[in-house]
Structure 1
């Protein structure tokens, strides 16, 4: 396997190793309708930026950060350009039941505030550490921990789960 001067693997190797992670995260963040488009857009952005990378460290985290930002762009594009009083509520469908066997949990996750929803999804679906979540959300690791903690507390309350 040939690599570049910076130690980066060929882009196809990156795709082969991480396409499932990108697809899964895109679908979790953008839903079944837009998930494939978000994943495709993430790969396009990654391909365009890849030659400029100077390090092969944390390539998976880098890809998932791009994916999260592409999903954010989709959600922003969905929002009507009206005042809050005029805008109808935005409903984001979750993944198919076959992909996520607990529809009650997905419904509770989709009801979380956007940043909490993204943080908990990046942490548990994307399997990112708090530094990766923070990078994806353009915040600090401490704020990432707080977002995930608040999301989990809300989910526990919503689903009636005890901490015991």
Structure 2
């Protein structure tokens, strides 16, 4: 019979992964809220988690749900601005920073990239979170990476 580690150790070990996932899904502004909500929910449910459970996958699943809650909550509120522009502002593709490039991806591609590349989940687990098959998740990730390479050329430089 295996024994679960203390919850504060779970936060120490997996906190950075959960924060990376939250940042990728909801952006840097709301990531801390999603992270906090993830660990509050996890703290409540931790006593019932089986000792042999994959804690990282469990936390990423909770983060996924909390991130969706943050996005939904934000979409219901208007954002005040000092001045309303006369027309949409266009940004040249080469001037985008990495976050803007990731944020511009379709939701499924952005989410799959976050769960697989930042959360470290295998495609089978990612597919269970976002729906579909592991092959579809793999395809969405490949499409997302290809788009990032086109819109954010520095990625190719960083990988070399």
SS at match of 2:27: helix
8 Å contact from structure 2 (residues 57, 125) kept in 1? yes
Counterparts of residues 107-146 of structure 1 (less than 5 Å): 107-146=100-139
8 Å contact from structure 2 (residues 34, 63) kept in 1? yes
Q: What is residue 60 of structure 1 aligned with on the other side?
A: 56
Q: What is the CA–CA distance in structure 2 between the aligned matches of 1:54 and 1:131, rounded to whole Å?
A: 21
Q: What is the CA–CA distance in structure 1 between the aligned matches of 2:4 and 2:16, rounded to whole Å?
A: 20
8 Å contact from structure 2 (residues 109, 143) kept in 1? yes
**Higher share of residues assigned helix:** 2
Q: TM-score, normalised by structure 2?
A: 0.73
Q: TM-score, normalised by structure 1?
A: 0.71
Q: What is residue 22 of structure 2 aligned with on the other side?
A: 26
Q: What is the CA–CA distance in structure 1 between the aligned matches of 2:28 and 2:149, rounded to whole Å?
A: 25
The offset of 1:140, in angstroms, is 2.8
Q: What is the CA–CA distance in structure 2 between the aligned matches of 1:74 and 1:145, rounded to whole Å?
A: 26
Alignment equivalent of 1:152, drawn from 142, 145, 149 = 145
8 Å contact from structure 1 (residues 64, 136) kept in 2? no
Segments of 5+ residues of structure 2 without an aligned counterpart are: 78-94
Q: What is the CA–CA distance in structure 2 between the aligned matches of 1:13 and 1:139, rounded to whole Å?
A: 33
When the two chains are superposed, the root-mean-square deviation of aligned CA atoms in Å is: 2.5
Q: What is the CA–CA distance in structure 2 between the aligned matches of 1:115 and 1:73, rounded to whole Å?
A: 16
Deviates more, 1:123-132 or 1:134-143: 134-143
Q: What is the CA–CA distance in structure 2 between the aligned matches of 1:77 and 1:117, rounded to whole Å?
A: 19
The offset of 1:119, in angstroms, is 0.7
8 Å contact from structure 1 (residues 26, 39) kept in 2? yes
